[in-house]
Amino acid sequence: MRSDMIGPMRATAARRTATWALAHAPARVLFGREARRGNPTARLISDPAARLRPEPLWEEIRSRGALVRGKVSWATVSLPVVGQVLRGEEFTSMFPEPGNAIGRLYRSVRDPWALGPAEPPSLLAIDAPDHTRLRRLVSRAFTARRVAGLEAGVDKTTHELLDALELEDRVDLVERFAATLPVAVIADLLGVLPEERGPLLSWGNDAALLLDAGLPYREFKRAQRGVREMHQWVHGHIERLRAEPGDDVISTVIRQADDLPEDERPSPEELRLLALLVLGAGFETTVNLIGNALVLLDRHPDQRDLLRREPDRWPRAVEEVLRFDSPVQLTGRMARQDVDVAGTHLPRGSGIVMLLGGAHRDPDVFADPNTFDVARENAGDHLAFSAGPHYCLGAQLARLETVVGLRALYERFPALRIEGEPVRHTTQVLRGWSSVPVRLR
């Protein structure tokens, strides 16, 4: 190793260690302690085994009321409460850093080239007016009309992937289909060259880790390394498209940004995180949605057979997958002012953890909520893509890819069945499968 590289590497490692110690170590200690005391929300956050089968803990929280107080925040599995909070102007997605010495130290050590998707200035972690200003730059790319126009391309990509499986008998459908389809689609949409697509899924998985609270240091280190690489790649991608723009979304965003008055233009960091979020979010949720559907349909063959007989039911079936096994399991908000929720007065600064997976089993909204039913009339009443100002930009694209992809997959391989044991991700926020081994015939 060259001697001139040692100093910068040590500085990066020291910054990473300090960031983890300030941002993740306290949460890890707090949630671990609360889990040992029996707090069901803390158990879901801190215990991977509990997340594999969260239903009993959801019901324990539900039995305590629509809004349940914890050591540091409130929690809910009530769908009406979740809807109120996500849509309410009284709540913010921004959890302010402390203004004391610890807060100043954190701001001084965090690496701007390794910011995760839940850190400002990411769209997930900011509110109006900055959220409105930045979201406007990409919202036109995901209108219903624009997404509908992508269907032919999604169908073409789907059949190319299925053609490649024709000579196979056993495959991992996450690796060969659930992941490759959305990566190919979002790469085309964002102007990513075919030879550059390989690392995207790995980087996306690394970025997803940084959505979680209280990461072990080893996982945080791996996640930051991957996200740093993604930042570097996104920076180069933006510079390339600025010099040679195309018809892709990022080129359009760059043109729109450069046309804005100087005081409204996104900073280089804002533009980089905007591109990074759209890129990662454009496939990460869809990978998990398709994988969750594969496992659910294998475990409910009557539902799978109904879809084979009546393929027009696929759109509603995808909504039921989003409800029953939500790719996003939890999110958080903070009250920006005193507010009443479910008959409870919450003072300004109160945090709320919304357990979306549990809220989608709310018996006051969904009849027989623990039954997977692809014909469920109100399956679309879920909040799997959030609501309000932070409603997912890529929701319609995720739905399109999943409906088109799954319908074609089961038409091409009607005898498809899982053979072996699928492997779950152990992340807190995102829920999906890292491996789904199947026999195609």
The pLDDT of residue 102: 66
Domain total in the chain: 1
Closest CA to 29 of 331, 259, 20: 20
Q: What is the C-alpha to C-alpha distance for residues 15 and 142, in angstroms, rounded to an integer?
A: 37
Q: What is the full per-residue pLDDT of the chain (441 aa) written as tens digits?
A: 444 334 444 557 888 999 999 889 999 999 999 999 999 999 999 999 999 999 999 999 999 999 999 988 999 999 999 999 999 999 998 765 555 566 677 778 888 899 988 888 999 999 999 999 999 999 877 888 888 899 999 999 999 999 999 999 999 999 999 999 999 999 988 898 888 888 888 888 888 899 999 999 999 999 999 999 999 999 999 999 999 999 889 999 999 998 899 888 999 999 999 998 888 777 889 999 999 999 999 999 999 999 999 999 999 999 999 999 999 999 999 999 999 999 999 999 999 999 999 999 999 999 999 999 999 999 999 999 999 999 999 999 999 999 999 999 999 999 999 999 999 998 999 999 999 999 999
Whole-structure pTM value: 0.94
The pLDDT of residue 132: 94
Instruction: Please name the amino acid found at residue 63.
Output: S
The pLDDT of residue 6: 40
Q: What is the CATH number of the domain that holds 139?
A: 1.10.630.10
The pLDDT of residue 4: 38
The pLDDT of residue 14: 86
Q: What is the C-alpha to C-alpha distance for residues 388 and 289, in angstroms, rounded to an integer?
A: 21
The pLDDT of residue 54: 97
The radius of gyration of the chain from alpha carbons, rounded to an integer in Å, stands at 22
What residues does 439 pair with on adjacent strands? 170, 417
- Contacting residues for 29 by C-beta, under 8 A, at least 6 apart: 214
Closest CA to 178 of 41, 86, 285, 290: 290
- Contacting residues for 156 by C-beta, under 8 A, at least 6 apart: none
Domain range for residue 92?
A: 3-439
Q: What is the C-alpha to C-alpha distance for residues 330 and 346, in angstroms, rounded to an integer?
A: 20
Find the largest Cα–Cα distance for the chain.
67
